[in-house]
Amino acid sequence: MALTIPSRHVLGFAKIISLPDEPMNALFTALSEVSPSLDLKSVASAVASRVESVPRAEINRIVRAILSLYSARAYPDVPSSSADDFVDDIWEAMSQSGRKELLVTEENKDRIKARLKRLLSLEALNVVS
């Protein structure tokens, strides 16, 4: 099953791509420290309170986009694969989306793929999905 990026998550993925490293690292830290919860809003709120450099609305979009990855990976039609393979599938979906917000230069490819892989290792969001 080929992955696609739903239009409702394009802005979240675009922010994951475009966010500078420093605020992204703060986001990773906040996401790794937040208590696992089934309530997406409480996770996003807890993260937003710890990452003041990123507007709350953008954090909500990012968390929702990340959650969509966890949900897609758990979907029965998505074959079990390594995190690297799944990130490659996400990369392909972004590249083939036709959305300019999701295009990444070749020089940034490894950095963005590493970012996606790191996002897929977050326990708090694994519980939410």
The 10s digit of each residue's pLDDT in 89-115 is 999 999 999 999 999 989 999 999 999
pLDDT in tens, 55-79: 999 999 999 998 888 888 776 566 6
Any domain includes 1: no
What CA–CA distance (Å, rounded) separates 36 from 26? 18
Any domain includes 18: yes
Residue 100 contacts residue 53 (beta carbons within 8 Å): no
Any domain includes 23: yes
Q: What was the pLDDT predicted at 92?
A: 92
Higher pLDDT among residues 17 and 74, named by residue: 17
Residue 87 contacts residue 117 (beta carbons within 8 Å): yes
Q: Which domain holds residue 84?
A: 7-128
The number of distinct structural domains making up the chain is: 1
Per-chain mean pLDDT for the chain: 87
**pTM of structure:** 0.86
Any domain includes 54: yes
Any domain includes 117: yes
Any domain includes 93: yes
